[in-house]
Amino acid sequence: MTEMRIDLHTHSNMSDGTDTPEELAVAAARAGLDVVALCDHDTMAGVSAAQASGERCGVIVQSGLETSTQFGDSTVHLLGYGCDPDEPALSSALAHVRLSREQRIPRMVDALERVGIVVSLEDIAAQTAPGATSGRPHVADAMVARGVVPSRREAFDYWLEWGKPGYVGHYRIPLIDGIALIQGAGGVAVIAHPWGHGTRHLLTSEVLVELAHEHGLDGLEVDHNDHDETARAELRHLAAAHGLLATGSSDYHGLGKTRHPLGCNTTDPDVFDAIVDLIQTRRHTLEATP
């Protein structure tokens, strides 16, 4: 019997991916996946459409989200699986983040104009799917469409990353609060690529152990293209030693990010079963709470 292939971190054009939610499910089927989790930034708006498409093409679409949380002076990406999208505390917090993202766009336009790059709010809106929140990737895509840069990656590297002329920050939920909000909405909280993006100095082994034991963190995204084999082995050992779920995924963004094809990393079926069981337990508790 062929083992299930499970990819627990992908994006659609409801955030910074380029596939529609429906296209994502079809692409997952073509990639030979049995399960794919849609984890758009600060929203679950595309999940229902992806799940309906998945039913048609034989792929299970696990609901998810990704939010950029604040930890110290840095950003930590946090995944939430199986959250109730209507749970008031989480939905309010995510709405606050989305509003903050939207409100920074005019400031980014002004910042770019000060260094001679002209891109309009209309240009950015044209790159943003209906119902999605405009963000840096959409600014980058507008810059590509204008011929300012040849690719989204170059737009980030030279203009939109932290410390570059067009960067403007936005509100982030504190990491510990994010874990609690996800779990309070019946979900499972997993730190995305904890030792990628230069965060290993921040999320040391000691910090990850503390997050697990003191704040209830559920898991770590171990198998990710931002982790080399040594980091993966260390994270897998840490997860096993401290009762954390170890997931694997592509972090697929369609054409929005290279070197992250669907299914390039996968999650063990037993780990996925444990996630589903935990979601069911927490959602049952949530529904039983007056």
Strands 74-81, 188-191: pairing is: antiparallel
pLDDT in tens, 88-140: 999 999 999 999 999 999 999 999 999 999 999 999 999 999 999 999 999 99
Does residue 145 belong to any structural domain of this protein?
no
Does residue 178 belong to any structural domain of this protein?
yes
Q: What is the value of pTM for the model shown?
A: 0.96
The pair phi, psi for residue 10, each rounded to 5°, is -140, 165
Return the structure tokens found at 130.
């209906």
Average pLDDT over residues 35-60: 98
| 161, amino acid identity | E
Q: What percent of the chain has pLDDT over 90?
A: 94
Confidence of residue 50 (pLDDT cuts 50, 70, 90): very high
pLDDT in tens, 158-188: 999 999 999 999 999 999 999 999 999 999 9
pLDDT of residue 4: 96
Does residue 21 belong to any structural domain of this protein?
yes
pLDDT in tens, 242-253: 999 999 999 999
Which CATH number belongs to the domain containing residue 72 in this structure?
3.20.20.140
pLDDT of residue 194: 98
Specify the DSSP element, H or E, that contains 109: helix 88-114
pLDDT of residue 13: 97
Does residue 237 belong to any structural domain of this protein?
yes
Confidence of residue 258 (pLDDT cuts 50, 70, 90): confident
- For the chain, the average pLDDT equals 96
Does residue 127 belong to any structural domain of this protein?
no
32-52 core/surface letters (b: 16 or more CB in 10 A; e: else) = ebbbbbbbbbbbbbbbebbbe
Q: What range defines the domain where residue 256 resides?
A: 6-94+173-288
Does residue 144 belong to any structural domain of this protein?
no
Does residue 22 belong to any structural domain of this protein?
yes
Domain count, the chain: 1
pLDDT of residue 214: 98
